[in-house]
């Protein structure tokens, strides 16, 4: 009798394990049908498998206490990594609860409940808090002081590259990875009023990289033109190659021995840009904000343009956001004056009314 029970238990365990693997596969299929990129699909189930294999259980046997112990012990990683894994586990359980909770309860007598509860669930921005960018005046002084120091830099060409990257990131609001990926052929001087450039940024809701136009504006156009004319040619590759990176690394490119033609230099990495920006901020950034990193420049771009009168929709388009709610989170520190905005809106309404009456005449 004991042997029969043991065999039945083994069969039941195998059945649960197979069913668990089936749900993981179907979760990936469902998200694939939703349009997620292949690279995103590969990451969806890894944290679930990781923690289940650690405890030797299937997903619906996990408890909140096990999740807490794992990420505080064997699975402890950087804050952002843990946050990402916890969110992925929670996402899988949302799928499991909606599609398979009834079947799991009937077959295995277990109620499906996510081990990510209100106590260990990370908030969307709670881990990072409000990002407070420098003021418009502080950014102007910072860029001015940095520009004045370029001639005395130990490596003037690299210093100019880093400075141009920082100002373009602030003017256009592009991400560090997007900026590092820009190629010379992506510059379109004739587009729009001042020119635009193509960036390949992350897609909405994990759909993978998407190409979009970023805006130069007048300041960015003048700066990039100077950079192409005076700085870019000092690097050891061909600045006329449209596939060459706009912001190359210091590393010397290899050559094609038969033709002795230099290949494009590798692009500067986001980490290198981040380090250069941090170092420059320590030297030149005034005011209460002492640390500057690329994504804070993106927040500064959104906040300052909104304060200067750009509408929410225009800021959303500038940043390449899919949802206005995402853009609003970038404006947490914007100095808004509803009374002044109301008066301005009334003035515009009166002007439209006067113009309409004039047209009727």
- For the chain, the domains span 2-108, 136-338
Distance (Å, whole) CA 24 – CA 10: 21
What is the distance of C-alpha 21 from the center of its chain? Answer: 31
Distance CA 348, CA 345 (A): 5
Helix (H) or strand (E) holding 213: strand 210-215
pLDDT tens track, the chain, 361 positions: 454 454 444 556 678 999 999 999 999 999 888 888 787 888 899 999 999 999 999 999 999 999 999 999 999 988 888 988 999 999 999 999 989 999 999 999 999 999 998 888 876 544 445 678 999 999 999 999 999 999 999 999 999 999 999 999 999 999 999 999 999 999 999 999 999 999 987 655 555 567 899 999 999 999 999 999 999 999 988 888 999 999 999 876 555 444 555 667 899 999 999 999 999 999 999 988 888 999 999 999 999 999 988 989 999 999 998 888 888 888 877 766 666 656 666 676 677 776 666 665 5
Residue with tokens 């007048």: 218
Residue 277: phi and psi, rounded to 5, are -65, -40
Distance CA 140, CA 2 (A): 79
CATH topology of domain 2-108: DNA polymerase; domain 1 (1.10.150)
CA-nearest of 187, 185, 247, 245 to 215 is 187
Tokens coding 304 = 């300052």
Q: State in Å, rounded, how far the first CA of the chain is from the last one.
A: 101
What top-level class would CATH report for the domain 136-338?
Answer: mainly alpha
Q: Is the pTM of this model over 0.75?
A: no
């Amino acid at each position: 009798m004991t042997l029969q029970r043991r065999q039945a238990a083994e069969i039941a365990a195998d059945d649960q394990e197979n069913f668990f693997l089936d749900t993981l596969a179907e979760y990936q299929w469902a998200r694939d049908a939703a349009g997620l990129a292949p690279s995103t699909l590969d990451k969806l189930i890894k944290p679930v498998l990781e923690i289940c294999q650690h405890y030797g259980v299937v997903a619906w046997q996990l408890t909140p206490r096990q999740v807490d112990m794992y990420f505080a012990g064997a699975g402890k990683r950087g804050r952002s990594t843990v946050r990402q894994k916890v969110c992925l586990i929670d996402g899988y359980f949302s799928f499991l609860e909606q599609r398979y909770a009834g079947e799991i309860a009937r077959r295995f007598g277990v109620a499906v409940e996510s081990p990510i509860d209100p106590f260990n669930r990370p908030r969307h921005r709670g881990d990072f808090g409000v990002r407070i960018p420098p003021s418009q005046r502080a950014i102007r002084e910072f860029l001015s002081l940095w520009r004045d120091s370029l001639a005395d830099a130990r490596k003037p060409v690299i210093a100019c590259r880093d400075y141009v990257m920082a100002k373009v990131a602030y003017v256009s609001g592009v991400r560090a990875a997007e900026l590092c990926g820009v190629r010379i052929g992506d510059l379109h001087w004739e587009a729009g009023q001042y020119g635009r450039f193509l960036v390949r940024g992350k897609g909405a809701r994990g759909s993978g990289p998407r190409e979009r136009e970023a805006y130069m504006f007048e300041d960015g156009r003048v700066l990039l033109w100077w950079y192409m004319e005076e700085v870019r040619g000092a690097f050891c590759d061909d600045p006329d190659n449209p596939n060459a990176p706009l912001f190359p690394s210091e590393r010397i490119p290899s050559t094609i021995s038969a033709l002795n033609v230099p290949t494009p230099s590798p692009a500067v990495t986001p980490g290198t840009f981040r380090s250069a920006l941090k170092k420059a901020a320590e030297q030149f950034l005034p005011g209460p904000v002492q640390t500057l990193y690329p994504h804070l420049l993106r927040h500064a771009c959104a906040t300052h343009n909104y304060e200067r009168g750009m509408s929410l929709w225009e800021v959303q388009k500038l940043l390449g956001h899919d949802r206005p709610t995402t853009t609003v989170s970038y404006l947490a520190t914007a100095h808004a004056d509803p009374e002044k905005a109301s008066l301005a809106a009334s003035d515009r309404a009166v002007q439209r009314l006067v113009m309409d009456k004039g047209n009727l005449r």
